Amino acid sequence: MNDYLKSGLDVIEAEMSAIQAMADRLGDSFKEAVQELLNCRTKVVVTGLGKSGHIARKITSTFNSTGMPAVFLHASEAGHGDLGIYSPGDPVIVISKSGSTAELVHVVPDLKQSGSKLIGILGRMHGPLADAADILLDASVAREADPLGIVPTSSTVVALAIGDALAGALMKAHSFTEKDFARNHPSGQLGRNLLLTVGDVMHPLEKTAVVRQNTSLKECVTAMTRFALGAALVMNDDAELLGIITDGDLRRAIAEGEDIRAMTASCLMTPNPVCVHPAATLQQAIEIMEDRPSQIAVLPVTDETSGKPLGILRLHDVYQPGEL
């Protein structure tokens, strides 16, 4: 095995072991922390410094996106005006590997003076921050995962995992749904996938290339050129969907066919294609198109009751510009 790969795997395995050890210790104090956050009627203040500060920012972001209002307080800036984001009663989560970060120790009395509960995600169970904490979550690690054993690796991963666990428990308690998540992410692809339906972005039948079984290859190409969406629906005289022809089908037919002049739509099409309904979410459409051995770039959209074709959906339509 390549030495570089082994070094990388050693780090990952050490971090996995640290998370498992933390999970084995998790108990009543975690339940207390979740209950304290559930009781919150204002917001949560999350603070840390250095690498722990970066983890605190990430936990803050996760809380906000999953329905728990939170703000990040930079420990060094707290005494220079940023303490103004704190409101009496805000529960405070303090993250520190050493459990004695001077800037955090200095700001804790100001955060606790109005009766706020202090939740410590700490790497040491003894020290000034542990003594000040009302609820203590053990984020200690036996050793950092890097080759020197000194770079914040296992400790940051463990602290982040505890924050994620808190967020997950709160989501469960609040019955937080995919629609709730989407409302907090209206401009992102995640929100788009959950909020929008196939009917919102599909191309209707009148703007889609439609051919019959006996349509010639040339006429198929003409129709697909007029409606340049990468596919044509093959329908019979009763407006029933028989198949779909894609640009790829045309290329393969021309490359492999002996007499392309005799080819018709029935020779080119994929019969009984996979379809999607207009009420399906974009997320459901993505799963239909991508969660398969061979991905689908274009889907016929059909009425859920009658099965009649209504148009097509392209993978390109699902993703925002730059997201594909």
Q: Answer yes or no: are the C-beta atoms of 75 and 47 closer than 8 Å.
A: yes
- Say what the pLDDT of residue 322 is: 41
- Say what the pLDDT of residue 96 is: 95
Cβ-proximal residues to 203 (8 Å cutoff; 6+ apart), any chain:
227, 229, 311, 312, 313, 314, 317
CA gap 258, 281 in Å, rounded = 42
CATH fold label, 198-318: CBS-domain (3.10.580)
pLDDT band at 320 (very low <50, low <70, confident <90, very high): low
Across residues 106-122, what is the average pLDDT? 86
pLDDT band at 283 (very low <50, low <70, confident <90, very high): confident
DSSP state of 123: S
For the chain, where do the domains classified as CATH 3.40.50.10490 start and end? 3-176
Whether pLDDT at 243 is above 50: yes
Query: Which tokens belong to 290?
Result: 């991508």
Q: Which of 258, 213, 263, 218 is nearest to 238 (CA)?
A: 213
Q: Which of 67, 73, 57 is nearest to 159 (CA)?
A: 57
Question: Which segments of 247-303 are extended strands (E)?
Answer: 270-271, 298-302
Give strand pairing partners of 281. Answer: 197
CA gap 247, 224 in Å, rounded = 8
pLDDT band at 253 (very low <50, low <70, confident <90, very high): confident
Question: Is beta strand 241-246 parallel, antiparallel or unpaired with respect to 231-235?
Answer: antiparallel
Across residues 138-159, what is the average pLDDT? 95
Kindly list the strands in the beta sheet with 309-314, ordered across the sheet, starting from the edge strand earlier in the chain. 203-204, 309-314, 298-302
Question: 54-68, 101-115, 197-211: which has the minimum mean pLDDT?
Answer: 101-115
Query: Which tokens belong to 308?
Result: 């009649």
Give the best-scoring range by mean pLDDT among 138-142, 185-189, 265-269: 138-142
Q: Answer yes or no: are the C-beta atoms of 246 and 220 closer than 8 Å.
A: no
Q: What are phi and psi of 49, to 5 degrees?
A: -140, 150
What whole-number percentage of the chain has pLDDT above 90? 62
Q: Answer yes or no: are the C-beta atoms of 269 and 245 closer than 8 Å.
A: yes
For the chain, where do the domains classified as CATH 3.10.580.10 start and end? 198-318
CA gap 261, 216 in Å, rounded = 8
> Sign of the C-alpha dihedral, residues 5, 11, 15, 18?
positive
- What is the 3-class SS of 97-150, one letter each residue? CCCCCHHHHHHHHHHHCCCCCEEEEECCCCCHHHHHCCEEEECCCCCCCCCCCC
Taking domain 3-176, whether its CATH number is 3.30.420.10 is answered by: no
Q: Which of 35, 42, 38 is nearest to 88 (CA)?
A: 42
Question: Is beta strand 241-246 parallel, antiparallel or unpaired with respect to 118-122?
Answer: unpaired
- In terms of pLDDT, which residue wins out, 242 or 282? 242
pLDDT band at 323 (very low <50, low <70, confident <90, very high): very low
Q: What is the pTM of this model?
A: 0.69
CA gap 14, 127 in Å, rounded = 26
Average pLDDT over the chain, rounded to whole? 89
Coil/strand/helix, residue 314: strand
